[in-house]
Amino acid sequence: MVESFFDKKTECLTILVKGRFDYSCHKMFKETFTAVSKVKSYEINLAEVSYLDSSALGMLLLLRDHAGAEKAQIRLVHVNSAVIDILKIANFHRLFDITE
Amino acid sequence: MEQVLTILIADDNPSDRILLKAILSQFGHNVISAVDGQDAIDKFDPHTIQLVCLDIKMPHKDGWEAALEIQRIAGDVFVPIVFLSGVTDPIALSNCLRIGGIDFISKPYSPALITAKLNAIVRLLVMQKTLEEQRDAMSLYNEQLLNEQDVAKVVYENITNSNCLKDPALSTIHYGTHTFNGDVILAAYKPNGGMHILLGDFTGHGLSAAIGALPLADIFFDWTKKGFLMRQIIPEINARLKGILPSNMFCSAAFIDIKVNNKSIEVWNGGLPDLLFLPQNAGKPVRFTSKNLPLGVLSADAFECQIEPMSFAPGDRLMAFSDGVYEALDLSGQMFCRSILNPLYLGEIDAEHSVNWLVQQLEQEGVLENPHDDISCLSVRLDTNIGIDSSEHEESRGHDEAPADFSFEYVLNADSLRNTDPLPYVLQILTTVPGLSSFSSQVFMILSELYSNALEHGVLKLSSDKKSSSDGFSLYYEERERRLANLRDGYVKISVKVTSDNNNRSLMLYVEDSGSGFDFQRVNYDISNTELLYNRGLALLDQLCSKLEFTKGGSAVTAHYHWQVGLAS
């Protein structure tokens, strides 16, 4: 399940993922960020993600590319410990701003 | 939805039969008549008849019996059956539907009702036909796809398996969820002894995951064979994968370099669960945590290569596995990394049997029957004989006899010492010498020993005393990296001279450095003395070369290497 909300004032796109974050979310996840233009920053809320696999990591990279790679402003927020574990193994804290 | 059907009708009552035939023919349908149940069965052909109408009460098999038999003959072909009935008993009518009839038409016949029901049946038939066509197209497509995958699989396996996975030091397990496995295990002997091993896990599963393995394997084998070092191969693989894979695909991997000369390993981990170094006499394993991003994520200029060294004693083991193992669910639904793997992390599992133990756990917890991810694991028994005699066996000798006579000098100053590894290039030139390619592993060993002595002890002035303990060992390599990065002055000169005299060929390797030399008189060439690592290297060279000479106070060394051509192989 993927939901999104765009704040026009701050130009921040919030994406909320629920349940398993895997290939089944691919289409919806991609649509949420390609549908909106003029986004300055992204906030990915992972509070309700129970599991995340390597294709989810791939989707995050896809978003990062879309948002300008090194210049991208993407924050992963409310990340639970199981998911942090997976992100850490992949060393994704070097690419994204991750907070619990 | 006008469609002409061929309809089989069976009724023992001639007037009813003729009336129905007349009504159906009026709409343009072809009608075949049967006089009882058995006659209907005899006249039924699933390939020409699209609809069957059966009276319920008939002699020689009634409508129900005939219906069952007709359905059996039809097999996979869908032929709707409509019952004709003068009875109004709900149980008899519901029986008709229960045994597979799709509808019934009550007598006396009403042309309007028959028309309406026929139209409904035609719609059903059209829908059924579309479904069947789609089903057939799908199964044909699927069959083609599987065929193509089988062909591709052969190519894939040839490329990813042209390696030394059968070496007795290695134990591996490899289970894929698809025809193609997104996990790869590659192993190749290095030209100067030892081995390179790579365990990789591509994003996703199946063909799309496997496709990235081809360039990966290509670079891995080619560059290892040419004598490139792990820290040169990894950035090359990363750059190639970054260039060809879509941005949501990457490869989590571990690269292991087994260096037999100084009994050490180097490990690079990018995105795989911790690798475990299991000491032979039990004890808690040392963990190599992922300190790098997976391969194919960062651009070449942002890529960093964090490598960890470790010294080993023969019999120690190194174990690596993909996240298919780490994240597998046990019977209670817990991830392996939080439950089953604990005894392994605590050092309670015997190193020698660690892979068998893991397979047992995967079996017991039902993971292998229904894997959610590709599963692979490798364990290597570390020893000093890995890859030592392996390459010579394959080469043929004594065929190339053309004489060679050349020399060159290659001087690397500070900038180049920092940024390049000259050995693969020098080796590449030397292997063009007829006959010498058969001895390339020995030549490479001599060359790399002389070069690392010149660089580390001569130019960087490192003392090998530090290497004696395992802590000192990593300190030594950290110090080496630090001094190399800050190097401003110094040089290493490599001089090569190849000459031919009839069947006798000789290679002279001269390596000089800018250092202050050392007390070469005190070198102990006794190879059985394994206490001293530095001397051990020189003792090995002394065995390989016909003569080893020090000049310039020890800052220059000449190695003479001889071989003969024209000998029977």
CATH at residue B541:
3.30.565.10
Which pLDDT value is given to residue A16? 92
Cβ separation of A90 and B373 shorter than 8 Å? no
**Residue B325: inside a domain:** yes
Which pLDDT value is given to residue B492? 94
Q: Which residue is listed with tokens 């002055």? A: B489
* C-alpha distances in Å from residue B436, one per residue of A27, A81, B402, B443: 57, 57, 11, 8
Q: Which residue is listed with tokens 């059996």? A: B72
The count of domains in chain A is: 1
Domain housing B56: 6-132
d(CA B68, CA B51): 14
Q: Say which CATH number the domain at A39 has.
A: 3.30.750.24
Backbone angles phi, psi at B329, to 5 degrees: -100, 135
Which pLDDT value is given to residue B379? 92
Which pLDDT value is given to residue B525? 66
| B373: chain A residues, CB-CB within 8 Å | 53
Low-confidence ranges of chain B (pLDDT < 50): 1, 391-398, 532-533, 568-569
For residue A87, the distance in angstroms to the closest alpha carbon of chain B comes to 9
Q: Say which CATH number the domain at B180 has.
A: 3.60.40.10
Which pLDDT value is given to residue B393? 44
Q: In the listed set B356, B381, B406, which residue is the last one of a domain according to the structure?
A: B381
Which pLDDT value is given to residue B396? 46
Residues B362 and B403 in one domain: no
CA-based nearest residue in chain A for residue B290: A89
Residues B191 and B287 in one domain: yes
Which pLDDT value is given to residue B227? 83
Alpha helices (H) in B212-254, listed in sequence order:
213-225, 230-244
Residues B332 and B272 in one domain: yes
Which of B247, B252, B335 minimises the CB distance to A65?
B247
Q: What is the DSSP letter of A69?
A: G
**Residue B199: inside a domain:** yes
Residues B85 and B207 in one domain: no
Contact B175, B169 (CB under 8 A): no
Q: Phi-psi region for residue B203, left (φ > 0), alpha (ψ -120 to 50) or beta?
A: beta
- pLDDT at residue A15 greater than cutoff 60: yes
Q: In the listed set B354, B381, B408, which residue is the last one of a domain according to the structure?
A: B381
| Beta bridge pairs of residue B511 | B494, B557
Residues B299 and B405 in one domain: no
Q: CA B507, B508, B513, B516: dihedral to nearest 10 degrees?
A: 140
Q: What is the DSSP letter of A70?
A: G
**Residue B140: inside a domain:** no
Q: Say which CATH number the domain at B125 has.
A: 3.40.50.2300
Contact B414, B500 (CB under 8 A): no
- For the stretch A46-66, pLDDT in tens is 999 888 888 889 899 989 988
**Residue B137: inside a domain:** no
Interface test with A, best of B201, B202, B245, B247 (most A CBs within 10 A): B247
Residues B367 and B424 in one domain: no
Cβ separation of A54 and B252 shorter than 8 Å? yes
Query: Chain A interface residues facing chain B, Cβ-Cβ under 8 Å?
Result: 23, 53-55, 57-59, 61-62, 64-65, 70, 82, 85-86, 88-92, 94-95
Cα B549 to its chain centre, rounded Å, is 47
Residues B348 and B225 in one domain: yes
* C-alpha distances in Å from residue B244, one per residue of B217, B267, B298, B365: 14, 25, 13, 38
**Residue B204: inside a domain:** yes
CA-based nearest residue in chain B for residue A64: B247
**Residue B139: inside a domain:** no
**Residue B155: inside a domain:** no
Which pLDDT value is given to residue B151? 80
For residue A93, the distance in angstroms to the closest alpha carbon of chain B comes to 9
Which pLDDT value is given to residue A64? 92
Residues B371 and B404 in one domain: no
Residues B186 and B220 in one domain: yes
Residues B424 and B318 in one domain: no
Cβ separation of B203 and A55 shorter than 8 Å? yes
Treating both helix axes as pointing N-terminal to C-terminal, what angle do A54-66 and A26-35 enclose, rounded to 10 degrees?
10
**Residue B189: inside a domain:** yes
Q: Which residues, 6 or more positions from B151, have their beta carbon under 8 angstroms from its beta carbon?
A: none
Cβ separation of B204 and A55 shorter than 8 Å? yes
Which pLDDT value is given to residue B395? 45
Which of B201, B271, B327 minimises the CB distance to A91?
B271
The count of domains in chain B is: 3
Residues B219 and B366 in one domain: yes
Work out whether strand B406-413 and strand B504-513 pair parallel, antiparallel, or are unpaired: unpaired
d(CA B533, CA B537): 7
Q: CB count, 10 Å around CB of B70?
A: 22
For residue B359, the distance in angstroms to the closest alpha carbon of chain A comes to 23
Domain housing A84: 2-98
